Structures are given as C-alpha cells and as structure tokens.
C-alpha cells in the first residue's frame, strides 16, 4: 500500500510492503529528493502503529494527502 503526501511543490510517499526475501514487513519512506529510509518489522501490529504515528507526524509538519482533481479534470 502506498500513501502520498504533498507540501507546497514537494511530494513524499511511503509504502508498506512485504520484505522481498522473507516474511517480514517494510515501511519505506521516499523523500522529495529521492532519498529512501526503510524500517523493518516482524510484527504487523507494530507496523500499523508506526504507520499511524508517521502519518500523524507528517500532518503535524504540514504534509497532506493530495487534493482530488476536480470532476471532469484529468490528472496530468
């Protein structure tokens, strides 16, 4: 699952995914400059809690999900 956040002209995203070489989970944050941070989790509950804290922290820093495009206008 991928979440997008925007602040002014910058876009940040984070993804929750299964580890490619195992049964654990990863939370991957991709910053506007392309840098990535990866956190690994064995426990899905801990991952969900971390995801919620991350969303709260991003919102507190002024990041917000992108506004939906007006009806009849396609995203470019």
- Does residue 70 sit within a domain? no
Would the pLDDT of 76 be above 60? no
| Residue 72 forms part of a structural domain | no
Number of domains in the chain: 1
**Residues spanned by the domain of 8:** 2-60
Q: Which pTM was predicted?
A: 0.82
Taking a C-beta distance cutoff of 8 angstroms, is the pair 4, 13 a contact?
Answer: yes
**Residue 71 is assigned to a structural domain of this protein:** no
Is residue 47 included in any domain, yes or no? yes
Phi, psi values for residue 43, rounded to 5°: -105, 125
pLDDT tens, residue by residue, 12-66: 999 999 998 888 999 999 999 999 999 999 999 999 999 999 999 999 999 999 9
Task: Give dist(CA 60, CA 72) in Å, integer.
Answer: 32
Cα separation, 43 vs 23, whole angstroms: 10
Q: Tell me if 12 is assigned to some domain.
A: yes
Other CB atoms within 10 Å distance of the CB of residue 40 = 11
Query: Does residue 66 lie within any of the structural domains?
Result: no
pLDDT at 71: 77
């Amino acid at each position: 699952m991928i979440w997008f956040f925007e602040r002014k002209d910058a876009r940040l995203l984070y993804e929750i995914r299964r580890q490619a070489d195992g049964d654990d989970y990863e939370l991957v944050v991709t910053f506007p400059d392309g840098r990535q941070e990866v956190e690994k989790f064995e426990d899905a509950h801990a991952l969900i809690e971390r995801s919620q804290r991350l969303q709260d922290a991003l919102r507190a820093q002024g990041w917000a999900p992108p506004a939906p495009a007006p009806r009849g206008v396609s995203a470019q």
